[in-house]
Structure 1
Amino acid sequence: MNIVWATSEAAPYAKTGGLADVSYSLPYALAENGHNVSVFMPYYPQVMAEKCDDTEVVGELLGVPLGDGNEEWGQIRQHKINENLSFYFIEHHKYFDRPKLYDWDGQEYTDNAERFIFLSRAIMQAVLALDIKVDVLHANDWHTSLCSVYLKSSLYNGFDNFSKTKSVVTIHNIGYQGVFPKSNLFWTGLGWDYFNVHCLEFYDQVNFLKAGVMTADMVTTVSPTYAEEILSPEYSFNLEQPLQHRAVQGKLRGIINGIDIQEWNPETDKLIPHNFSHTDLTGKALCKMELQKEFGLEVRADVPLYGVVSRLATQKGLDVFIECIDSMLKEDDVQFVIIGSGEKWQENALADYAKAYPGKFGAFIGYSNKIAHMVEAGADFFVMPSRYEPCGLNQMYSMKYGTVPIVRSTGGLEDTVNNYSAANIDAATGFKFYDLYPAALRDTMRWAASVYRNDKPAFAKIIKNGMTTDFSWHHTAEEYEELYQHANTRF
């Protein structure tokens, strides 16, 4: 198949979250399976830095209609990975030559609607300019969801390049939908007949993600449980009715993400001080010692060490974590290390814990890829108390590194972690709790510590189960191949 992948970010070029990881790894896996994959994204010169040198201009200047017939002019840059996979970058400095992708100093760019309308339209124009005959147009999140609308519109449905194209829209996080004043419809080049309940209209505003959901041939999310959760008002951010409509039609599916098993491999990881495998955990014990030193903790092999790497945001449930650990630090023989940044009050609370409990609690406010790898390799437990988690990657990284996840049962955390019990020891890979209350999280962390101390054979089995689970993109790619075929044969 000829697959066009539309995204606002992809690692290693530009990244703010998991979308970037998916937008490289899944196209790569699909290309390995023999498909021709073209990934389109913006060219961010200030963000991409030395990666800019990997790109070269292809084709002529690209005219992109915007508004009432006026054209913006850009360029297409290419980085060819292999015969089956190319990354194409839409270069337009007015919209994309900025220090960050979506916001500055916590404030979204005021022209974000215009920027990503331009991106979606530019991707459609670039496909024509490069003469790609598209079998599947796969848009991701609100930033490129308009591609699905354009595909069905009279602006593009008459071109041979799109005559056999089916569209897929993937929701990576429904908390972000691209909702803007309806005056922005002007920039799309679409008529007011698209401003209706079956497309762009959303409480008298435009909603780009909703429009993509309503027009795509298939809609996916990044885990089966999240696909169920977003059908309810609690998780849908007011989009439950359009999603229920698509689910009834059989057009909504959840497919779990994979992880990059080249980067996240304890046997070869160059960012950790000692390598190890599920057959020889000697290196993991040494990594724990180095992690304790890194955070100024008491160096001990016998103390349970809990790790956290997370955005400090309401979604991640770190407010509950902060509330529940005070009594553990006072009463229990435990240690914590955390890497994160975000809400100021959470940053301050973690810094206060580090001052109040030296030797037991360490905090790194910010992000370091090296230290994140050290936490995954050196901690005994990894804590993820998310309010909602579309997929989650850290729980899978943790299991590959023999670090047992403690998670709230939601979204991808529910789908990827098998809860421990004596009866389930052959499949168990972690510990789950269900109600997001401080006592529930605290009791689960204490339960995990009890197994760690008092049932070492069971704990060793949990570690081995996690380390030998296959989280590669191979399975995810196969599921998407089946979904693409489903979209092409059914509709």
Structure 2
Amino acid sequence: MNIVWATSEAAPYAKTGGLADVSYSLPYALAENGHNVSVFMPYYPQVMGEKCADTELVYDLLGVPLGDGNEQWARIRQHKINENLSFYFIECDRYFDRPKLYDWGGSEYSDNAERFIFLSRAIMQAVLALDIEADVLHANDWHTALCNVYLKSHLYDSFDNFANTKSVMTIHNIGYQGVFNKSNLYWTGLGWDYFNFQCLEFYDQMNFLKAGVLTADIVTTVSPTYAEEILSREYGFGLQNSLQHRAVQGKLRGILNGIDIHEWNPETDELIPENYSLTELAGKAVCKAALQEEFGLDVKADVPVYGVVSRLADQKGLDVFIECIDEMLKEDNVQFVVVGSGEQWQEEALSNYSRIYPGKFGCYIGYSNKLAHMVEAGADFFVMPSRYEPCGLNQMYSMRYGTIPIVRSTGGLEDTVNNYSASNINKATGFKFYDLYPDALRGTMRWAGLIYHHDKAAIEKMATNGMKIDFSWHHTAVEYEELYQHAKSRF
């Protein structure tokens, strides 16, 4: 199949979150399976840095209609990965030559609606310019959701390139929807007949994600449980009715993301002090000691280390973590390491813990890929108390490294972690809790610590159970192949 993948970011070119990881790894896996995949994204010269040198100009003067008869001009750059996979970059400095992708100084760019209307329209124009006959148009999150609207609109439904195209809309995080003032409809080139409850209209504003959800042939999310959760008011963020409509039609599905098993591999990882494997685990103890030393903790092999690598944001539940660990630090024989940044009050609270409890608590405010790998390899437990988690990657990284996850049962965390019990020890890979309260999280961490101190065999069994699971993108790619074929045959 000829697959057009539309995204606002992809690693290693530009990344703010999991969308970027998916937008490289899944197209790569699909290409390995023999499909022709063209990934379209913006060209961010200030963000991409040295990666700009990997691109070459393949199309000059791409006309992109914007507004009422106006036209912006762009160029198309390409980085060809292999015969089946190419990344195409929409170059337009007016919209994308900026220091960050979506915001600056804590505020979103005031012209984000115009920027990403332009991106969606430019992708459609680029497909025509490069003469790609698309079997599948796969849009991701709100930034490219309008591609699905354009595909079904009078502006593109007469082109042969799109004559047999089926559209897929993937929601990576429904908390971000692209809601803007309705005056921005002007930039789309679409008429006011598209501003209705079955398309763009959302409480008298424009909602890009809603429009993509309601016009796509199939809607997906990044885990099966998250696909169920977003049908509720609690997790639907106002789109639950639209999603229930697609679910009743049989057009909503959750497919679990994979992870990069080459980057995250304890046998070959160059960022950890000692490599180890499922059959030779001795190196993990070396990694633990190095982690303790790195964070200024007492180097003790018999103390459980709880690790966190996370954005310090409401979604991640770190406010509850911060509230509940003070009692453990005072009373328990435990250690914590945290790598993360985000809300200022959380950064300050974590920094205070490192001053109050030297030797037991260490943190790094910011993000360090090396430290992230060291935490995954050196910690005994990895804590993820998320309020909601569409998929989550760190729990899968942790299991691959023999580090036992402690998670709230939500979204992809529910789908990937098998809860511990004495009767389930042959399948157990971690510890789960359900209610996001300090007592629940603290009790679960203490439960894990109790097993750590008194049942080493169970801890080792859980660690090796996790290391045996294949979280590669191969499985995800096969499921999407089946989904694409289903769309082509049914709709």
TM-score range for the pair, normalised by the shorter chain length = over 0.9
Letter in 2 for 1:288: K
How does 1:295-374 map onto structure 2 within 5 Å? Answer: 295-374=295-374
Map of 1:181 onto structure 2? 181
Q: CA deviation at 1:261?
A: 0.3
* Structure 1 residues not aligned, in runs of 5+: none
Map of 2:41 onto structure 1? 41
CA distance in 2, matches of 1:157, 1:452: 61
Map of 2:476 onto structure 1? 476
Could you report, residue by residue, the CA deviation over 1:444-470 in whole angstroms, capped at 9, with x for unpaired residues?
001001111111111111000001100
Map of 2:76 onto structure 1? 76
Determine helix, strand or coil for the equivalent of 1:469. Answer: coil
**Structure 1: which 4+ aligned runs deviate by more than 4 Å?**
none
Map of 1:213 onto structure 2? 213
Determine helix, strand or coil for the equivalent of 2:30. Answer: helix
CA distance in 2, matches of 1:450, 1:33: 46
Map of 1:24 onto structure 2? 24
Letter in 1 for 2:236: S
CA distance in 1, matches of 2:6, 2:32: 19
CA distance in 2, matches of 1:207, 1:193: 15
Map of 2:197 onto structure 1? 197
Letter in 1 for 2:403: T
Map of 2:426 onto structure 1? 426
Structure 1 length as normaliser, TM-score?
1.00
Map of 1:414 onto structure 2? 414
Could you report, residue by residue, the CA deviation over 1:338-393 in whole angstroms, capped at 9, with x for unpaired residues?
00100011000000000000000001000100001000000000000000000000
Structure 2 length as normaliser, TM-score?
1.00
Map of 1:96 onto structure 2? 96
CA distance in 2, matches of 1:13, 1:129: 23
Q: CA deviation at 1:61?
A: 1.3
Map of 1:151 onto structure 2? 151
Map of 1:280 onto structure 2? 280
Map of 1:7 onto structure 2? 7
Map of 2:137 onto structure 1? 137
Q: Does 1:264 align with 2:247?
A: no
CA distance in 1, matches of 2:105, 2:291: 31
CA distance in 1, matches of 2:263, 2:481: 24
- Count of residue pairs brought into register by the alignment: 491
Q: CA deviation at 1:278?
A: 1.1
Map of 2:378 onto structure 1? 378
Map of 1:163 onto structure 2? 163
Determine helix, strand or coil for the equivalent of 2:60. Answer: strand
Could you report, residue by residue, the CA deviation over 1:312-336 in whole angstroms, capped at 9, with x for unpaired residues?
0000000000000000000000000
Q: Does 1:401 align with 2:401?
A: yes
Could you report, residue by residue, the CA deviation over 1:24-69 in whole angstroms, capped at 9, with x for unpaired residues?
0000000000000000000000000000000000023100000001
Map of 1:486 onto structure 2? 486
CA distance in 2, matches of 1:130, 1:187: 24
Q: CA deviation at 1:101?
A: 0.2
CA distance in 1, matches of 2:312, 2:52: 31
Letter in 1 for 2:21: D
Could you report, residue by residue, the CA deviation over 1:204-223 in whole angstroms, capped at 9, with x for unpaired residues?
00000000000000000000
Determine helix, strand or coil for the equivalent of 1:315. Answer: helix
CA distance in 1, matches of 2:201, 2:352: 46
Deviates more, 1:278-287 or 1:330-339: 278-287
Q: Does 1:67 align with 2:67?
A: yes
Letter in 2 for 1:68: D
CA distance in 2, matches of 1:133, 1:76: 17
CA distance in 2, matches of 1:430, 1:196: 46
Map of 2:172 onto structure 1? 172
Contact 2:167 2:217 (C-alpha < 8 Å) held by counterparts: yes
Map of 1:451 onto structure 2? 451
CA distance in 2, matches of 1:141, 1:224: 17
Could you report, residue by residue, the CA deviation over 1:81-135 in whole angstroms, capped at 9, with x for unpaired residues?
0000000000000000000000001100000000000000000000000000000
Q: CA deviation at 1:17?
A: 0.1
CA distance in 2, matches of 1:316, 1:475: 26
CA distance in 2, matches of 1:24, 1:184: 30
* Structure 2 residues not aligned, in runs of 5+: none
Cα RMSD (Å) of the superposition? 0.4
Letter in 2 for 1:293: E
